[in-house]
Chain A
Amino acid sequence: GQQLNQSPQSMFIQEGEDVSMNCTSSSIFNTWLWYKQEPGEGPVLLIALYKAGELTSNGRLTAQFGITRKDSFLNISASIPSDVGIYFCAGHLGNKLVFGAGTILRVKS
């Protein structure tokens, strides 16, 4: 079953709004990764987090590795139409990389 609980399942927002999504787990993770997948493509890495408490930005994206190592969030500021897609969190349990169920993001322009 899913070891990562990702929420929300989907979001439909207005262009320009900020977006926040998160992942939680009952297990401790060594890394947290955030990916975006567009139709017909494989997931593409957005941000990688390697240390508890780490806060990392990549353009309009910001992600944090929770202090407890059991959660992470991803924020997207000032959303634009090309932000649409499925966003996945992922984490390492040992060397095994497992994924959340994804958050579907739709942007209304």
Chain B
Amino acid sequence: DAGVIQSPRHEVTEMGQEVTLRCKPISGHDYLFWYRQTMMRGLELLIYFNNNVPIDDSGMPEDRFSAKMPNASFSTLKIQPSEPRDSAVYFCASSPGLAAFFGQGTRLTVV
């Protein structure tokens, strides 16, 4: 397996634009997590899914953020409209139920 695959690796966008981050989890993993990493706040859990169903989205900062998992092999995290304070590295991770395995992340810069 190629591991967790995220795209794009880097994204630079203007404030107010919509941004969509994508994730392909490891096949067979039932859990998918979205994290945001910043110097100030470290690794924050935004939302996680179990069997494609969102279980806990209490970490999603505000209504501008939304996440979907239409099937077991794909998830998106969308920010609309984006703001400069959303600049961070966003990680997707998948898990069979215990240890989680991370993608390489998407570095988002909102200017």
Contact = CB atoms under 8 A, between A and B. Distances in A.
Interface in A80-101: 88, 90, 92, 95-101
Interface residues of A, number: 23
B96 to A, nearest CB: 12
Contacts of B98: 31, 48, 50, 92
B45 A95 contact: no
Given A95-B31, A95-B48, A97-B33, A45 B42 contact: no
A53 B10 CA distance: 42
A35 B67 CA distance: 25
B55 interface: yes
Interface in B1-40: 4, 31, 33, 35
Interface of B: 4, 31, 33, 35, 42-43, 45, 48, 50, 55-56, 91, 93, 95, 97-105
19 contacts: A31-B99, A40-B104, A41-B104, A42-B102, A42-B103, A42-B104, A42-B105, A43-B43, A44-B102, A45-B99, A45-B101, A95-B31, A95-B97, A96-B45, A96-B48, A97-B93, A99-B45, A100-B42, A101-B42
